[in-house]
A and B are shown apart, each in its own frame.
Chain A
Amino acid sequence: MSETANQKRDVDGDTAIDRHLEREYEAGWVTDIESDTLPPGLDEDVVRFISAKKNEPEWMTEWRLEAYRHWLTMDHPKWAHVHYPKIDFNSISYFSAPRSQEDRPKSLDEVDPELLRTYEKLGIPLHEQEMLAGVAVDAVFDSVSVATTFRSKLAESGVIFCSISEALQDYPELVRKYMGSIVPYRDNYFAALNSAVFSDGSFVYIPEGVRCPMELSTYFRINAENTGQFERTLIIAEEGSHVSYLEGCTAPQRDENQLHAAVVELVAHKNAKIKYSTVQNWYPGDSEGRGGIYNFVTKRGLCAGERSHISWTQVETGSAITWKYPSVILRGDDSVGEFYSVALARGRQQADTGTKMIHLGKNTRSTIISKGISAVRAENSYRGLVRISPSADGARNFTQCDSLLIGDRCGAHTFPYIESRNPTATVEHEATTSKVSDDQLFLCRQRGLDPEKAVSMIVNGFCKDVFRELPMEFAVEAGKLLEISLEGAVG
């Protein structure tokens, strides 16, 4: 502790006048460090510390600092339909070492039985349960070798799939070219914060004409622990390439951080296709709304080239607060953007999620299918923007967002913004809100299903259009996940 304080004082003595000195100092400083954890608080030194810790090139450090300085000038956004106590950004530690083995549960016996019951229902093998619950095991099963196998296979086809930190060392020119080009740090409050302090994330590069031989999943990438809080993902698909990326998993993961502010950037060049699927099931807090993850994510894709295609699919069931709008900028002519979403909020969860489709190119097409389910006392909002700019001749959008209400104290809201400035474009939006119909329930029960099973079946049917878009394994899991999440919400 005193060590860290000393270092802090040293750095405070810095002046911006002598850049060279500062750089030398920084480099020396890193080797000095013995403690791997920063005390809570955020200032320029913290940003420099994180950057230095990762041995980042100077431009990266500068970019982080610019982002931080810009963040200081911004106000916490208030427009979303969510309510939470003010976040004290100085009470968060922006860099911490992996938890030591002593702090962890020694075996599954020490893990919350509720969590184990969920794992069991999802059919997760025992050793994976241990990993997810963060149990201290000497040899975490053979995930390392699994990862290595995958990597060599990917390398054969020229696909780069590594952490952002590694990419900054090995492919700095690629990262420099694209990072912040889709989500600039000026974009919004949380994007600025993420740009300043991002810990790690994934980097994917698919070379020209390559069809990625497997579905890429964060699940298989060995992430340093505690990188989830300010994650940054960058996926680049060169001309004619194709990739499907899976993020998250259905099992509830142990997580120490309450605030998550991730940024995801996708770039699809001519004829390329990126399919990005997310299943998010973080801790939603207890039934009274205490605790739970705040999930403030900026996800955006750029259809840069002609006939490029970006598709977002998400199943959001976790987090106390979700604030997330995966978007597509349709710049290339004939490019396609898609958004398929199931957002389930129960208990006291609040979700404000949706998408933005910005049509710039000619004959661009976008489809938005959003299914919101609110149960008990949850608040679920769809917020979407479809913008047809004057240049988007022949653009086409279809939006459908349906809400299902379970319980008379929950809320379901729809805020679709439609802005059209081109007469040759066609925009269609439909939204409905209703509860699980008594007729449907009656029919199911008459055939011998108990109410819970009946509701879960109806809800599954309601979400079918979205589940169909998920990779197969994910779709099966997502169905199960919904069923489990709805337990206790019915009746």
Chain B
Amino acid sequence: MTMASTLEQRLDEFTRRARERSEALAADALPALAALREAGRKTFATTSLPGPKTESWKYSRVGPLLEEGLLDRPQAETAVPDVTGIESFDAGRILIVDGVVRDLPATADGITVTRFAEAGAEAAATLGRELGQLADMSERPFVALNSGLIEDGVLIHVGPDVQADSLELVIAQSGDAGPHGAHPRVLVVLETGASLTLLERHLGTRAVFTNSVIEVRIRDEARLEHMRLQLDAGAGRSLTALDVAVGRNARYDLQQALAGSTFRRNEIRIRCEAPGGEVRVGGATLTRNRSHLDTQMCLEHIAPHCSSNQVFRALAGERSKTVLNGRIHIHPGAQKTAAELSSRNLLLSHDAEIDTKPELEIYADDVKCAHGATVGRLDERALFYLRSRGVAETQARMLLSFAFLTAVVDAFPVAAVRDAVRPVLEAAFLAPAEASRP
């Protein structure tokens, strides 16, 4: 590929190579996997990759994902990177490196954590029932790509009424694999009355393409506390689809702390499928230098009597760009829904950009929905107040910026994670700006 090739040519080339890679895969013994791969391959062949006119990609350019080598397989045996855990957060670790499952916690009573490839009869049945049911591929070519290239993945299954210990899902890059594409796949199923705390961490700053798909089924009365940390800036190209179905009287709590990278896009779709569901979403984001962070959030209220609350706080510095599409969709019949979304953003530099679009699409009348969005900068008066009391300007800016992010960071359900996130965000905030490239 030369630099002169047009986007269209590059998209075509990418599509062709993806198909080749998918077709080169050996047949899979597991019927669920074989079926998903087939469906993914078919959908990928018929959907076009997002071009400049694709509305849902209006603020994200697909270019960084099309670079040379980003569809290649990672080298077979790469070193497992040293991943430090979070202090006083005791959790079984699932480690996926370059898309390959490298480590799993010991199985406990009522909890199954297994590679797809090693699924027992019961796990295989769960996979057959659930895999690919939530991550809709239509109009999401990269979910189709993930499915079309699926070879393995991780199933987390929590049995009925089991109160599971915490789990940590680490999606990491190895240090020595060259440019490549990884397509991690995770399925989480919480049976009726189960509960789980899941910490999801994305690590790595290298220029590799990580295209993750995570499906989460939360059955009636079950409860999932989900924390997501994507705090490594750098050259990573990361695309994550998270599709969640929330059952009757179930509860889903997603709290995120995110930094941008060369390309980072999170597509999150949460469906309240039965009455009484409760959803809470938070996102604290900090983008710096030339990083890019795009959150595509869609909360679908299908059943009546559900509630959702979403809070997003973003800081954008230097030449970075933060995008939020926060859509609330109330289906016909979803009466008595209460849905809220707040998106507040601070621009820290003259060259940064914030694009936020809170959307409401409502087809039921007895609902209470509201969204609010603001974009601005730190209050000069507050800054002056602090400085007049002897606080240095940098310190004052940081204090105020962090007060702003606190609404989200404080909502992290695990104190140990909260305490681990703060210093990382602080360090990222205080780090000197990278010298801008010509």
- Contact residues of B: prevailing secondary structure: strand
Q: Which residue of B lies closest to A428 (CB)?
A: B374
The A-contacting residues of B in range 341-365, CB under 8 angstroms, are 345-365
Smallest Cβ-Cβ distance to B374: which chain A residue: A428
Q: What residues on B are CB-neighbors of A433 within 8 Å?
A: 360, 362, 367-370
A427-B370 contact in complex given A406-B365, A410-B365, A435-B365, C-beta closer than 8 Å = no
Say if the beta carbon of A292 comes within 8 Å of chain B.
no
Judge whether B335 is part of the interface by a CB distance below 8 angstroms. yes
Q: Looking at the assembled complex, report how far the CB atom of A226 sits from the nearest CB atom of chain B, in whole angstroms.
A: 36
Most buried by A among B55, B369, B375: B375
Instruction: Give every chain B residue within 8 A of A388 (Cβ-Cβ).
Output: 375
Would you call A79 an interface residue if the criterion is a C-beta within 8 Å of the partner chain's C-beta atoms?
yes
A421 to B335, CA, bound (A): 38
List chain B residues, Cβ under 8 A from A422.
Answer: 347, 350
Cβ-defined contact, A423 with B349, below 8 A: yes
> Binding site of A, secondary structure by majority: helix, strand, loop or mixed?
strand
> How would residues 374 to 390 of chain B score, 1 for a CB under 8 Å from any chain A CB and 0 otherwise?
11110000000000000
Complex CA distance for A407 and B332, rounded to whole angstroms = 11
- Contact, CB under 8 Å: B357 / A417: yes
In the bound complex, what is the Cα–Cα distance between A434 and B346 (angstroms)? 29
Q: Which listed residue, B335, B366, B375, touches A420 by the CB 8 Å rule?
A: B375
A409 is an interface residue with CB less than 8 A from chain B: yes
- One digit per residue, 1 when the CB lies within 8 angstroms of any chain B CB and 0 when it does not, for chain A 173-188 equals 0000000000000000
- A201–B358 Cα distance when bound, in Å, is 37
B372 & A429 in contact (Cβ 8 Å cutoff): yes
The CA of A186 and the CA of B419, in the complex, are separated in Å by: 55
Does residue B202 face the partner (Cβ distance < 8 Å to A)? no
In the assembled complex, the CB of B338 is this many whole angstroms from the nearest CB of chain A, namely 10
Instruction: Determine whether the beta carbon of B377 is less than 8 Å from that of A419.
Output: no
Assembled-state Cα–Cα distance A417/B364 (Å)? 23
CB distance from A370 to the nearest CB of B (A): 12
A409 vs B333: C-alpha distance when bound (angstroms): 8
Q: Tell me which of B350, B354, B358 contacts A431 (CB under 8 A).
A: B358
How many chain B residues touch A (CB < 8 A): the figure is 37
Q: Are A429 and B377 in contact (CB under 8 A)?
A: no
User: Is B125 part of the contact surface with A, judged by Cβ < 8 Å?
Assistant: no
**Contact status B362-A405, CB under 8 Å:** yes
Shortest A304–chain B CB gap in Å is 25
B262 vs chain A, min Cβ distance (A): 20
Q: Does B371 count as interface, using CB distance less than 8 angstroms?
A: yes
Q: Is A414 an interface residue (CB 8 A)?
A: yes
Which residue on B lies nearest to A404, using beta carbons? B365
Chain A, Cβ-Cβ closest to B347: A423
**Which of B355, B363, B369 is close to A419, meaning CB atoms less than 8 Å apart?**
B355
Give Cα distance in the complex from A425 to B352, angstroms: 12
- B373 sits at the interface (CB 8 A): yes
Contact with B along A396-438 (1 / 0, CB 8 A): 0000000101111111111111111111111111111111000
A430 to chain B: closest residue by CB: B372
Chain B residues lying within 8 Å of A407, measured Cβ to Cβ, are 365
Which B residues from 377 to 428 make CB contacts under 8 A with A?
377
- Say if the beta carbon of A390 comes within 8 Å of chain B: yes
Of A79, A411, A425, which contacts B362 at CB under 8 A? A411
**Beta-carbon contact of A426 and B375 below 8 Å:** yes
Expressed in whole angstroms, the minimum distance between the Cβ of B17 and any Cβ of chain A is: 30
Complex contact B332–A414 (CB within 8 A): no
Residue pairs across A and B with CB atoms within 8 Å: the count is 117
B86 CB to closest chain A CB, in angstroms? 33
Contacts of A423 in B (CB 8 A): 346-350, 352, 376-377
A409–B332 Cα distance when bound, in Å, is 7
- In angstroms, Cα B148 to Cα A330, docked, is 49
Would B367 and A435 count as touching, CB distance under 8 A? yes
Chain A, range 51-83, C-beta contacts under 8 Å to B: 79
Shortest C-beta distance, B300 to chain A (Å), equals 14
Q: Are B362 and A412 in contact (CB under 8 A)?
A: yes
**Partner of B374 from A79, A415, A427, A434 at Cβ < 8 Å:** A427
Is B357's CB under 8 angstroms from A415's CB?
A: yes
Whose C-beta in chain A lies nearest to the C-beta of B366? A435
Query: A413 touching B362 by the CB < 8 A rule?
Result: yes
Q: Which residues of B contact A416 (CB under 8 A)?
A: 357-359, 373
Q: Which residue of B lies closest to A408 (CB)?
A: B365
**Closest CB in chain A relative to B358 CB, distance in Å:** 6
Write the A376-406 contact mask toward B (1 if CB under 8 angstroms, else 0). Answer: 0000000000001010000000000001011
Residue pair B360, A431 in contact (C-beta under 8 Å): yes
Contact B370 A431 (CB under 8 A): yes
Question: In the bound complex, what is the Cα–Cα distance between A423 and B348 (angstroms)?
Answer: 6
Q: Cβ of B375 and Cβ of A390 under 8 Å apart?
A: no
Measured between alpha carbons, how far is A411 from B332 in the docked complex, in Å? 9
B59 nearest CB neighbor, chain A only = A419
A287 to B396 Cα, complex, angstroms: 61
User: Which residues of the partner chain A approach B361 to less than 8 Å between Cβ atoms?
Assistant: 411, 413-414
Pick the contact of B358 from A403, A427, A429 — CB < 8 Å?
A: A429
Contact A415 B365 (CB under 8 A): no
Residue numbers in A under 8 Å from B370 (CB-CB): 430-433
The answer for the CA separation of A408 and B55 in the assembled complex, in Å, is 29
- Complex contact B371–A418 (CB within 8 A): no
Please state if A408 and B364 are interface contacts (CB–CB under 8 Å): yes
In the bound complex, how far is the Cα of B353 from the Cα of A422, in angstroms? 8
Whether A421 contacts B353 in the complex (CB less than 8 A), given A79-B55, A403-B362, A413-B360, comes out as yes
Inter-subunit contact A434/B368 (CB<8 Å): yes
Bound-complex Cα distance A431 to B366 (A)? 16
For A424, give its contact among B364, B372, B377 (CB under 8 Å): B377
Q: Are A420 and B353 in contact (CB under 8 A)?
A: yes
Q: A423-B350, A433-B367 are in contact. Are A418 and B362 (CB under 8 A)?
A: no
By beta carbon, the residue of chain A nearest B358 is A416
Of the residues A409, A411, A425, contact of B375 by C-beta under 8 Å: A425
Nearest B residue to A410 by beta-carbon distance? B365
- Inter-subunit contact B366/A415 (CB<8 Å): no
A80 to chain B, nearest CB (A): 11
Assembly CA distance A388 to B375 (angstroms): 10
Residues of A within 8 A of B371 (CB): 414, 429-431
Report how far A428 CA is from B358 CA in the complex, Å.
Answer: 12
Measured CB to CB, the closest approach of chain A to B107, in angstroms, equals 47
Q: Are A418 and B349 in contact (CB under 8 A)?
A: no
**18 pairs from A and B in contact (CB 8 Å cutoff):** A79-B55, A388-B375, A408-B332, A410-B363, A410-B365, A411-B361, A418-B355, A418-B373, A419-B353, A420-B353, A421-B354, A422-B350, A425-B347, A429-B371, A433-B370, A434-B367, A434-B368, A435-B366
Given contacts A417-B355, A417-B357, 19 further A-B contacts (CB under 8 A): A403-B360, A405-B365, A408-B333, A408-B365, A411-B362, A416-B359, A418-B354, A419-B353, A420-B354, A420-B355, A422-B347, A423-B350, A423-B376, A423-B377, A424-B377, A431-B360, A432-B368, A433-B367, A433-B368
Show the binding face of A for B, using Cβ within 8 Å: 79, 388, 390, 403, 405-435
7 smallest beta-carbon distances between A and B, as pairs: A423-B347, A405-B365, A420-B375, A414-B360, A426-B376, A427-B375, A429-B373
